[in-house]
Structure formats: structure tokens, C-alpha cells
């Protein structure tokens, strides 16, 4: 195969190459520069015109073409005008097979030929023991048939962020990832699904052959799935953080109720049972109204009624069942599509709080090592991780973002607006699966907190098409360009391809 171009000048992170006239360089394209003992993997991050003709003469020629309809040709056009590409080195792969790839530290030779990348050039990226499927390797817009994985145990427990403009394929990506995870045993997932698009959709996870690996909780369950009901006695005051902003006196009164009445605290709030300290009547009134409203409770003067999913005499095992399923490496999808934002966060907080407690207990007991890692899929993450929200106080999701990895619990946070999330939390999310991001400030927030240097990838990120991603991760050798397949095609190929695509499943 012939060269696509030649390196002609530049500096370490900014090499310049001339493109062969019959070839076409593309933004994000991977190219190989070979030396005697190593191959260097390079990536195009910018394209520009080059010309042997001076700027003034170019203006003259274009003027004559436009105004006079004549064209001046005084040199072979292939030699005269050309395309230049700016490249950066991603990694150096020694030809001696025993040596490991390493970050590039030297310049490729002057006039090095640039070759199109091929599958075997990147065979140093192998499938890890606990694979987290990302998609296929991509060179520009060309997809190489080389599935890429991260070490899922590490990646999931150290948090994953999926930032992208609306409609670029965030949900599709997470669906693919979950589908492949259902064939593995190293991770359990809690999916808080505000659009009911993950399980009960066409196509959806309900079509997965490993039925017992995926559980679905909904207020309107499908045959064979579980009903989303909670017992009122399982609700604690801290489940409300994130869903409701309490003032300091309100917080104090809430914990006073909890301290005095324990699991009967909600009834005490509704009946306005007396507390030991005096609280302002208004404070107690607000608490009562908000708690009843969020839990859809009514009081008829004699009895408490539940109009929602928080029941007096049902749902006692829901949370324990969900936590157990996740610790058994199952995927639990919770359909919160019927609720408003605050109710949804309350439901998510309840399950997540108890899940986190269970993992903390496992650590104390010494069983954490043998327990699958847990990850919580959170759509529109700034609702609970946004700077403004966190200024008002912590919630379970921000706690997990800060210290979850010590207990093997991570977040898989999805957002269109990463810039709303505090920098420290963004930097803590050690894997970012970046799809197309149109807005500059959003790209900036991601580039500044990425695990690899993406300072030259601003244009590439802006121009990512649906399903095209760049994965930056502490657990990847370099920022991986990836194409995420359309979920429909994964589901469709399952029958003819079960063996190859889902090892471990019959």
C-alpha cells in the first residue's frame, strides 16, 4: 500500500504532513509512520491548504477565473496546490513483539511516509478480562472492524461520563453498553430511566436473550417484570436531599422527627406529632406539605392514603431485591418516566443510598473483592451534580462521585451540559465517552478535565457525527476514536451471531 502523505515539518505535538493528491486526509484519521524499529500511531487534528504560489498570485488567478473566465495554469496542479494536515503522535508501538507500546517521545523521521492504519497495527489493544464494550475503532469516519473495550471493573467504579449535544447518540451508546454487559458477571447496573427508553422500547433490553440478567421495575410492569412500589417505612429524610432544598431549620426538624419516631417518622410528620424541641409552625407545615406531595399521600382526617408508589402495606422488599440483584451482577432498569423531576430523584436517591450502604457493609465485612462492581446510570446528571445544586448541600450522587470508587460504586453520568458540573467532579470521572458536542464551553469543560491531552481535539469533537465518539480514560493507552453501533443492529445480529458477539451465552 502506498503512502497517503509525507511528514514535512513541525514540532512534537504539531507535525505537518503533505497529503498525496489522489488521497484524502480526514479530521480524526489515524495514520502510521514507520521507522526501523517502531511504528508511530498518529492522528490528524487539523487540515489546511498549502500552495507553491504566493498569496498575491493566488488572488490574481482566482480573480481571472471568476471575472474573466480564464484560468492560468503554470505548473502541474497536483504539485502547485495541496492539502496539509496537522498531526499529533498518539503512541509508539515497538516492532519487537515482546516490548510494550509506550507514549511517543521522539519525532518520526523527516519525510516519513504516512500509511493508512490497519487492524493489525493496533492489535496491541487486547480484550481485557472484564470487558466494557465501547464500539469499533474508528479512523476519521472510517470504521475498522476492531471492537474496543476498557477494563470494565476499573472504568465503571471510577465513574464514566457521557457528554454530548442532544441527539448525538448518548442513550444509544448506553443501550449498547448495557446489552453487552448483560453477558458479563463483573458488574451490576442501576439504570434510572426517565424516558422509559432502555428496557421497554423497540428495540430494547427486553429483547436480550439473558432474561434473568435484566430486571425491570415500573409502575406499569410488563408481564413477568416487577412493580415499582416502595414501603413508606423505607423512606428516610436523607433520601430527600437532591430532590428538595430544605432550609436549615427544616433539616433540623426533619432529623428531629427521624430521631424521635424512626420508621414511623412520616406518619408523625403528617399527624404533626409533637417534637421535643419547639419548631416554628410554618417550618413544620412546609415539611408536611412537601413530604405528602412528593410521596403522593393524603390525609382524610382519620387515615393516611397513598395515591402513588409509596405504600403503607406493600413494597417492603423492593429496595432489598434491587440491591441484591445489582450485587449479583444484574442490570436493574427503573422506569421513572411517569414522575416529575423531584419524584424521580427521590426514587433514585432511595435506591442509590441503600445500594451504597450495602457496598460499604461489604467492605467492612471483607466481601467487597468478590462482589461485582456497581454503576448507576444517571440521565441529565447536572440535576444532582450541578454546581448550583451542590452549593445547597450534598446528595448521594455527589457523595458517590467523590468517594464511591473506594467501595466499587461508580456513576455513569449522561449530560448535554458538562460545564454545569464542578470541575473537581468532572476530573474525578476517569472515563469520558465524548460524542459530538456543538457548544464550545461544553467542549472546553470536557477537554480541560480529560484523562488525555485533548487540547488539539476541539474541532474533532465538534464535528463528531452520530455514534462517533472519542473515549478518554485513565484506563486507555490513548484517547480512543470509536464508532458506537446503532443499537438496532446489535439486536438484529444477535440471532445469526450469538456465538461471536456474546461469548458465554448459548
Ligand X SMILES: Nc1ncnc2c1ncn2[C@@H]1O[C@H](COP(=O)(O)OP(=O)(O)OP(=O)(O)O)[C@@H](O)[C@H]1O
Binding residues for ligand X (CB under 6 A)? 164, 166-172, 416, 466-467, 484-486
Q: Which is nearer to ligand X, 404 or 436 (CB)?
A: 436
Do 368 and 403 form a contact (C-beta atoms < 8 A)? no
CB of residue 384 vs ligand X: minimum separation in angstroms?
17
* Residue 415 in the binding site for Mg ion (CB under 5 A): no
Give the one entry of Mg ion, ligand X, none that residue 169 binds, where binding means its C-beta sits below a cut-off of 5 to 8 angstroms depending on kind.
Answer: ligand X
| Closer of 28 and 135 to Mg ion (Cβ) | 135
CB of 128 or CB of 485, closer to ligand X: 485
CB of 368 to ligand X, least distance (A): 32
What is the C-alpha separation between 485 and 477, in angstroms, rounded?
22
Closest CA to 462 of 428, 439, 446, 490: 439
Residue 208 interacts with which of Mg ion, ligand X, none, CB < 5 to 8 Å by class: none
Q: Which of ligand X, Mg ion, none has residue 353 at its interface (CB below 5 to 8 Å by kind)?
A: none
Exposed e or buried b per residue across 299-333, where buried means at least 16 C-beta atoms within 10 angstroms of its C-beta: eeeeebebeebbbeeebeebbeebbebbbebbbbb
* Smallest distance from Mg ion to CB 340, Å: 18
With CB under 5 to 8 Å by kind, the binding choice for 330 among ligand X, Mg ion, none is: none
Residue nearest Mg ion, CB atom distance:
171
The CA radius of gyration of the chain, in Å to the nearest whole number, is 28
487-492 CB contacts, 8 Å cutoff, 24+ apart: 487/172, 487/175, 487/176, 487/179, 487/203, 488/203, 490/176, 490/179, 490/180, 491/179, 491/203, 491/207, 492/203
Question: What count of other Cβ atoms lies within 10 Å of the Cβ of residue 55?
Answer: 8
**CA-closest candidate to residue 444, choices 402, 414, 434, 29:** 434
Nearer to ligand X, 135 or 477 (CB): 135
Contact in structure between 92 and 105 (CB atoms under 8 Å) = yes
CB of 114 to ligand X, least distance (A): 28
Alpha-carbon span 352 to 323, nearest angstrom: 9
Q: Residue 131's binding partner, choosing from Mg ion, ligand X, none, with beta-carbon cut-off 5 to 8 A by kind?
A: none
**Near Mg ion in 125-184, by CB under 5 A:** 170-171
Residue nearest to ligand X (CB): 467
Judged by beta carbon, residue 403 or residue 465, the one nearer ligand X is 465
**Beta carbon nearer to Mg ion, 139 or 200:** 200
Contact footprint for Mg ion (CB under 5 A): 170-171
Amino acid at each position: 500500500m502506498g503512502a497517503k502523505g509525507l511528514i514535512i515539518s513541525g514540532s512534537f505535538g504539531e507535525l505537518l504532513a503533505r497529503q498525496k493528491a489522489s488521497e484524502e486526509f480526514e479530521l480524526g484519521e489515524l495514520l502510521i509512520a514507520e521507522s526501523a524499529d517502531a511504528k508511530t500511531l498518529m492522528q490528524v487534528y487539523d487540515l489546511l491548504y498549502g500552495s507553491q504560489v504566493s498569496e498575491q498570485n493566488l488572488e490574481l488567478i482566482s480573480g481571472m477565473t471568476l471575472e474573466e473566465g480564464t484560468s492560468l495554469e503554470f505548473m502541474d496542479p497536483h504539485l502547485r496546490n495541496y492539502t496539509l494536515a496537522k498531526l499529533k503522535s498518539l503512541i509508539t508501538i515497538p516492532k519487537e513483539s515482546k516490548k510494550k507500546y509506550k507514549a511517543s517521545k521522539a519525532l518520526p523521521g523527516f519525510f516519513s511516509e504516512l500509511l493508512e492504519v490497519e487492524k493489525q497495527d493496533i492489535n496491541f489493544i487486547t480484550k481485557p478480562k472484564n470487558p466494557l464494550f465501547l464500539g469499533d475503532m474508528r479512523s476519521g469516519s472510517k470504521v475498522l472492524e476492531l471492537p474496543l473495550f476498557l477494563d470494565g471493573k476499573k472504568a465503571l467504579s471510577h465513574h464514566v461520563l457521557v457528554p454530548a449535544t442532544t441527539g448525538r447518540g448518548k442513550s444509544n451508546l448506553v443501550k449498547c453498553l448495557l446489552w453487552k454487559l448483560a453477558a458479563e458477571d463483573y458488574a451490576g447496573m442501576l439504570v434510572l430511566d426517565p424516558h422509559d427508553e432502555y428496557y421497554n422500547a423497540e428495540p430494547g433490553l427486553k429483547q436480550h436473550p439473558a432474561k434473568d440478567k435484566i430486571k425491570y421495575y415500573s409502575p406499569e410492569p410488563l408481564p413477568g417484570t416487577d412493580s415499582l412500589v416502595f414501603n413508606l417505612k423505607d423512606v428516610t429524610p436523607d433520601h430527600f436531599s437532591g430532590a428538595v432544598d430544605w432550609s436549615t431549620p427544616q433539616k433540623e426538624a426533619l432529623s428531629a422527627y427521624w430521631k424521635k419516631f424512626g420508621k414511623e417518622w412520616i406518619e408523625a410528620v403528617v399527624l404533626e406529632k409533637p417534637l421535643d424541641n419547639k419548631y416554628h409552625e410554618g417550618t413544620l407545615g412546609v415539611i408536611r406539605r412537601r413530604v405528602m406531595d412528593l410521596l403522593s399521600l393524603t390525609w382524610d382526617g382519620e387515615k393516611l392514603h397513598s395515591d402513588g408508589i409509596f405504600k403503607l402495606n406493600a413494597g417492603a422488599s423492593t429496595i432489598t431485591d434491587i440491591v441484591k440483584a445489582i450485587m449479583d451482577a444484574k442490570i436493574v432498569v427503573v422506569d421513572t418516566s411517569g414522575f416529575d423531576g423531584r419524584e424521580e430523584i427521590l426514587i433514585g436517591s432511595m435506591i442509590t443510598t441503600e445500594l451504597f450502604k450495602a457496598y460499604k457493609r461489604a467492605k467492612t465485612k471483607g466481601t467487597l473483592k468478590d462482589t461485582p462492581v456497581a454503576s448507576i446510570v444517571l440521565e441529565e446528571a447536572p440535576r444532582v451534580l450541578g454546581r448550583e445544586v451542590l452549593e445547597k448541600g450534598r446528595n448521594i450522587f455527589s457523595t458517590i462521585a467523590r468517594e464511591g470508587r473506594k467501595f466499587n460504586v461508580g456513576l455513569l453520568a449522561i449530560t448535554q451540559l458538562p460545564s454545569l458540573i464542578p470541575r473537581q467532579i468532572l476530573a474525578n470521572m476517569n472515563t469520558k465517552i465524548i460524542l459530538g458536542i456543538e457548544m464550545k464551553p461544553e467542549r472546553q469543560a470536557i477537554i480541560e478535565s480529560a484523562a488525555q491531552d485533548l487540547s488539539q481535539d476541539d474541532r474533532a469533537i465538534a464535528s463528531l457525527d452520530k455514534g462517533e465518539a472519542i473515549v478518554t480514560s485513565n484506563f486507555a493507552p490513548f484517547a480512543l476514536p470509536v464508532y458506537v453501533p446503532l443499537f438496532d443492529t446489535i439486536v438484529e445480529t444477535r440471532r445469526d451471531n450469538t456465538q461471536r458477539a456474546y461469548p458465554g451465552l448459548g
